[in-house]
Amino acid sequence: MKKASPESYAKIVGILTDAFEVNQSVDFILSAHRNTPWRRAALMRYSLEICQDFGEVWLSDDEKACALILYPQLKKTTLKSILLDLKLILHAIGIFGIGKALRRESMIRLKRSKEPMCYLWFIGVDPRHQGKGLGSELLLEVIAHAEAKGLPVYLETSMIDNIPWYKRFGFKLYDDLSLNYKLYFFKRDGMDTFA
């Protein structure tokens, strides 16, 4: 795994755009009928740019898997972050989706811990290469990186099929949220053992 360079950002946006084609959480943010590749790419570009400033952007050595990691304790409002939010509204969620997105984010914020963390915002594998262990390898590296920093790893998923996968890597379900889908909240403390 390597920290991504700006030259690889288009590849990362492409991987995540394809990997999250079917995802209830993304559908909710973009409005399912508007979950087009173009809008998904805008959402992924936004997330990547936020992680570039307040986290890390990783790419597997074979460039078929990637992870966006955010350190919420470092995030602050800047002119750039405000401009990114405006771009997200214009290119992804739309003016009419602002209220729904803000309500969802507010409900999530109430459930998320305030402790310093490594927040795994997105992890994705190019769909043509899924099922080969690339996601697992990358997740292990994210866990090791967080442990080296002394931070727990937090994440959310709306994909029920992913729940056993996260549990296998020592993540524990600590809450959920019912929207028009269910969002599951997971935490992995440092040095937890794998199931």
**Which DSSP state fits 5?**
P
**CA–CA gap between residue 190 and residue 178 (Å, rounded):** 28
Give the integer Cα–Cα distance in Å for 184 and 177: 7
**How large a percentage of the chain has pLDDT more than 90?**
90
List, in order, residues 6 or more apart from 99 with CB less than 8 Å away: none
Q: DSSP letter string over 52-112?
A: HHHEEEEE-TTSSEEEEEE-GGG----HHHHHHHHHHIIIII-GGGHHHHHHHHHHHHHHS
The answer to whether 47 touches 121, Cβ cutoff 8 Å, is yes
- Model pLDDT for residues 94-120, shown as the tens digit of each residue: 898 999 999 999 999 999 999 999 999
Residues 5 and 81: beta-carbon distance below 8 Å: no
Segment 38-56, tens digit of pLDDT: 999 999 999 999 999 999 9
pTM for the whole thing?
0.93
Query: Which tokens sit at 71?
Result: 């350190």
> pLDDT (tens digit, 9 = 90+) per residue, 56-87?
999 999 999 999 999 999 999 999 999 999 99
153-157 vs 118-125, strand pairing mode: parallel
